[in-house]
Amino acid sequence: MTRFFAYAGEALSALMRNKARAILTILGIFIGVGAVDAVYALSTGAAAAINSSVSTGDQPSLTIYADPQQGDLTQAQPRYRDAQLIADQSNGTMRRVIPQYSVFYNNQRIYNIRQGSANKKVAALGFSWYGDDSNFAVADGRTLTTRDVEHARTVVVVSPKLAEKFFGSDEAAPGNSLTINGTRFQIIGVADSTTGTASNYFGGSYYIVMPYTTYHQFAPGNVDAVQIWTDSPQDEDAAKAAALATLKHEHGGRAKYIVQSTREQEAQFNKVLNIVAIGLTAIGGISLLVAGIGIMNIMLVSVSERTREIGIRKAIGARAGEIVLQFLLEAVLLSLAGGGLGLGLAVAIIAGASGFLASKFGSFVVPYASIVLIAFVFSLSVGLVFGVYPAMRASRLEPVEALRS
């Protein structure tokens, strides 16, 4: 071990004699490791943050809505009572079935909202609530409950932007009331726009959230979709078949529906994100390859410049393995130095980007242990792989020929 450290010290001294050349060689590793680490950390953290943001405390397994491309969309559109009819045909495969109101289909989801004598008006988006989402967060007041749903209470949770519009702050909104399309609603809470379900509905926009049972009385008519919860993924196919059979029986055999599986959507999303991450990492890997070739080239130049030194070492008894070790250590030290600086670059990039992503998704966990390990492994590998040939070439020099040069 003492001899190893002695060789490491000699390798470091040799590199310091050509500082400019060493710095230029390190630059390639610096960029490559920084790119690979940053892409890995950001893609991994973003995937976890997005999955956490879009997921709920009890996410529906299936969402069924009328195919918008069919001829008679109005006839096929699900009705409020369809949810109960589907539940009656569940045969034990469905835990819960509810009608869904959302913002994506028609203008009846846009509301005119007034507050007291101030007569302020604003158009807002509306969301229905099924009453069992433990991941929906509020910044002030309370969230909606299953009792609000069961009793169809005229209560709403409002967005922070809407609360500020009417009351000046989040804290002042709970306990007050709003007149929404002519109906008086009590404000029970203000959504938290930094965390929870889809950042609690698009963060900075104007929106209101009310129980779906209340919405049915407030604005009766067709629903946008039917949501189904199953106890296990194995029940999804049976639940899908039963739901489609019920809908076609009620709306006619020509009615067409699209079924979205939350589990399949998340798997597909993660697959796409992984492909993008692999592609970007491969680009960083190319810069590592170029940097490795640079290390090999510089080490070959070093071997040529130090031929006489190698001949003297071998003449006084240095073995081939010791020559290999010295030059291999030089290549590894170059690579590790670049990797350490690249790790610093990656941390700086991640620190800047994670703050922005955290503001959008509410949470962003950086896998620091993994990026340190990646930086070390990649740097060590590049140094070893591309330093072997120059080191072997140095060890094969004949002492007499080396001394003559």
- 289-322: pLDDT as tens digits: 888 888 888 888 877 777 777 777 777 777 777 7
Asked if residue 238 has pLDDT above 80, the reply is yes
For residue 355, give the amino acid letter: G
- 55 phi/psi in degrees, rounded to 5: -80, 155
pLDDT reported for residue 371? 86
Rounded to the nearest integer, the mean pLDDT of the chain is 78
Measured torsion, CA atoms of residues 220, 221, 225, 230, in degrees rounded to the nearest 10: 50
As a whole number of angstroms, the distance between CA 140 and CA 193 comes to 11
For the chain, what is the largest distance between any 2 Cα atoms, rounded to a whole number of angstroms? 103
* Residue 105 or 263, more confident: 263
Instruction: Give the pLDDT band of residue 186 (cuts 50, 70, 90).
Output: very high
61-75, 299-313, 327-341: range with lowest mean pLDDT: 299-313
146/156 Cα distance (integer angstroms): 13
The predicted pLDDT at position 194 comes to 67
Residue 266 banded pLDDT, cuts 50, 70, 90: confident
Residue recorded with tokens 């169809």: 152
Top pLDDT among 129 and 264 is at: 264
Rounded CA gap, 399 and 263, in Å?
68
Whole-angstrom Cα distance, residue 25 to residue 332?
A: 12
Residue 53 predicted with pLDDT over 60 = no
Residue 109 has pLDDT above 60, yes or no: no
Residue pair 296/387 in contact (Cβ under 8 Å)? The answer is: yes
Convert the chain into a string of H (helix), E (strand) and C (coil).
CHHHHHHHHHHHHHHHCCHHHHHHHHHHHHHHHHHHHHHHHHHHHHHHHHHHHHCCCCCCCEEEEECCCCCCHHHHCCCCCHHHHHHHCCCCCCCEEEEECCCCCCHHHEEEEECHHHCCCEEEEEEEECCCCCCCCEEEECCCCHHHHHCCCCEEEECHHHHHHHHCCCCCCCCCEEEECCEEEEEEEEECCCCCCHHHHHCCCCEEEEEHHHHHHHCCCCCCEEEEECCCHHHHHHHHHHHHHHHHHHHCCCCCEEEEEHHHHHHHHHHHHHHHHHHHHHHHHHHHHHHHHHHHHHHHHHHHHCHHHHHHHHHCCCCHHHHHHHHHHHHHHHHHHHHHHHHHHHHHHHHHHHHHHHHHHCCCCCCHHHHHHHHHHHHHHHHHHHHHHHHHHHHCCCHHHHHHC
Mean pLDDT of 338-365: 78
Digit-coded pLDDT (tens) for 197-231: 544 444 557 778 888 888 888 777 778 888 888 87
Residue 99 forms beta bridges with which residues? 226
Find the mean pLDDT for residues 20-44. 82
130 and 149 in contact (C-beta within 8 Å)? yes
Higher-pLDDT residue of 33 and 14 is 33
Asked if 296 and 389 touch (Cβ cutoff 8 Å), the reply is yes
Given a cut of 50, whether residue 191 has pLDDT beyond it is: yes
**Pick from 128-137, 241-250, 258-267: least confident:** 128-137
The structure tokens listed for 285 are 């890997």
Neighbours of 137 (CB within 10 A): 18
Amino acid at 162: L
Query: What's the confidence (pLDDT) of residue 106?
Result: 41
Decide which of 57 and 28 is more confident: 28
**Is pLDDT at 107 greater than 50 in this prediction?**
no
Say if CB 303 and CB 393 are below 8 A apart: yes
184 phi/psi in degrees, rounded to 5: -85, 130
Give the pLDDT score at 285. 78
Q: What is the dihedral of CA 6, 11, 342, 286, to 10 degrees?
A: -130
Report whether 184 contacts 177 (CB < 8 A). yes
